[in-house]
Amino acid sequence: MNYIEELSRIKILDDLSNYYDIDFSNYTDDELNIFFSEHINKYKQEIKMVDFYNLSDKNILIESLDGFVKVGEKIKKENLECYTLTLVDGRKLSGAFNHLVETDKGWVKLEDLSSSHFVLTIDGFIKVKNTRKIKTQDVYDLECLHVNHRYLSNGISNHNTGKSIFAVMFMDWYRNNYDPGASFDVLTNSKLLQEQYTREFSFMDSLWGKDNYMCRNFDCTCSVGKEMAAAMKRPCGECPYDIAKSNFFNGAVSLTNFHLFLTYRVLNPNGWKRSARVLIVDEAHSFDDVASDFFATKLSRAVLMRLGVTRDEAVRVLEPMTSITDADQYRTFVEETLISFMSSHLSRMNAVAKASNSAKDIELCHTISQAIGKWERFLTEFESDKGNWTFEVNEVRDFSKDGRKRAQGETETELEVQPVWVAKYLEKYVWSKYDHIILMSGTILNRTLFADINGIKADTSTYISIQSPFPAKNRPIYYIPLGKMSYAKKHSTFLNQVPYLQKIMDKHAGVKGIIHTANYELAKWIDERLDTKYKRRLLMPNASNKMEILDMHTAESNTVLVSPSMTTGIDLKDDLSRFQVIMKVPYPSLGSQKIKKRMDSMPAWYGWMTMTTLIQSYGRSVRSMTDSADTYIMDECFGDVMQKTGYLMPKYFQEAIIKVNV
């Protein structure tokens, strides 16, 4: 261990001055390093983790197989399922179910260790005797400030790192250094990640939307149940949603998702009952996109029909829509026609729901009310900055006469208005509400770009970059240039890709995987072109059935997901995906007015967004240091990406690329 590099010469000299009356100033770095190493070994001592956690001294080194390494923050995690590991030499280690231990097969969770494993210790690899589940209890962890993130406990090499644990470490550090009574708001982008936080950190009070809780009085969700109880003048009693909401608003650490958070902050600010001044945002690279979608509004016959408007009424009220050509005309139509019509429609449906006491009717009224609120919010924000909004006319092919599924040969015209940038809205509704904010992501990539996109001031922020601890051998990227998937060449290139795709599926015949297609057209081509034996393995989710398809994927043995929309927000750890194929570089669509305006005002954004989506796709299948998956990129445009935006590529991504000559 080179302690001069790890700790600095100044820190070492300062520490030694407390023990020795010696002038070390004339020592060379090598001499000082040797002396300091001997000093550490002389004065080292064993201590229980609970006692270590309570130490006030912050300048502590802990022993690892790489020498004594710096300790960052210390963390207490409450009420976790725990296991005890016993080695054949009698050595033991107790910890949380997901605590990682270094073995001959890589990093393995305590709960997954068996007698087939050999655990790495200070004395070499020792065979596991057994693991046993013990009582649920509090555990103590630490941040290891070393590139390998490993340290020794009872002579056993173990590890704890990851964005979620950093969030907890920060909270502990903040309370110790700023405010012992501080409370925190934590945001995630996906339900899966929210559930992961909840499972690992039971002290967090998590809140989902009312639709995720089941009413105890009615056979429906709490969203509908509350409306039914009000209509029937029947108290809900112990409502699961109300209990969760009360815990959330009164908790020291409260956790929710981006969309629900924005719903409160933007549409119902008076309903937000928390006073936390510290915000932690995980998967922060996608916060901008979620916020943009949140403020966007869409208008079509199908949209109104899903809100209970009859087909004839929808056709009549939307008749002027054909003459709308810009965002300002859209705004006029919403303000002068749509709001009043939908308000009258809501009154009618409320009367229907009151008479029927039907859960379906009550839920519909709730949905209509939310839609009206969103259109009204659009009117407010549009007036304040008209130049920041784009107008799109889309031909949608996903709807039929019932407003849900397209009839053969039918298309649907849809108007969409959305903000180009949401930085000012994030400042208005989010950043300004907190004193300190932590933004975490695996794909920030460029500090300046990320700050500009999200409205963050460079002079009031600090950027910390940490390399991936996952071994490169576990996550190879095979670049197979089979032609460019550009518009003019995409079909011929796809025909070149098909036999290679089938070879890849043959290579991974007995395992699960995912094919990232970048668009639904390419997904359809795959379904049409692959031989029958390969098509049998394919699962092709859409926006409405993603969770159901993921459940099927989990239950089946060798299924392969095919989707353009699973680049982020899903966790395909371990056997859920042992290979993934990127058929096309995920360039943002140049057919979008929003994309064009973003490129005009911030040219570097296009490359940043492409790289972000690409790396997020890559990250779906390798989720821990013990996980492994092969990634295949078959679009020759990837070469252009490396040439033009390679400066954005993290080192861990570059080092995994293996070019395959074809």
Residue of 169 and 623 predicted with greater confidence? 623
Residue 398 reports pLDDT greater than 70: no
Residue 543 reports pLDDT greater than 70: no
Strands annotated E in 448-498: 477-479
Residue 161 reports pLDDT greater than 60: no
**pLDDT for the residue 509:** 95
**pLDDT for the residue 404:** 44
Q: Tell me how crowded residue 429 is: count the other CB atoms within 10 A of its CB.
A: 20
Token look-up 């899966």 returns 192
Of 96-100, 345-349, 485-489, 589-593, where does mean pLDDT reach its minimum? 96-100
Q: Which residues pair with 82 in a beta bridge?
A: 96, 134
Write out the two tokens for 456: 């963050």
**pLDDT for the residue 4:** 77
Q: Name the residue among 357, 350, 368 with its Cα closest to residue 225.
A: 357
**pLDDT for the residue 253:** 93
Quickly state the pLDDT bin for 196 (edges 50, 70, 90): confident
Of 356-360, 365-369, 454-458, where does mean pLDDT reach its minimum? 356-360
Residue 541 reports pLDDT greater than 80: yes
Of 176-180, 279-283, 336-340, 642-646, where does mean pLDDT reach its minimum? 176-180
Give the Å distances, CA to CA, from 125 to 119, 222, 313.
Answer: 5, 53, 74
Give the Å distances, CA to CA, from 318 to 26, 93, 312, 314, 395.
Answer: 85, 68, 10, 6, 16
Of 339-348, 364-373, 459-468, where does mean pLDDT reach its minimum? 459-468
Residue 128 reports pLDDT greater than 70: yes
The mean pLDDT of 361-389, rounded to a whole number, is 90
Distance CA 181, CA 390 (A): 44
Look up residue 608 and give its DSSP letter. Answer: H
Q: In the predicted model, what is the mean pLDDT of the chain? A: 88
Look up residue 123 and give its DSSP letter. Answer: T
pLDDT tens sequence across 297-339: 999 999 999 999 999 999 999 999 889 999 999 999 999 999 9
Pairing of strands 156-159, 436-439: unpaired
Q: Tell me how crowded residue 3 is: count the other CB atoms within 10 A of its CB.
A: 23
Q: Name the residue among 633, 622, 510, 523 with its Cα closest to residue 571.
A: 622
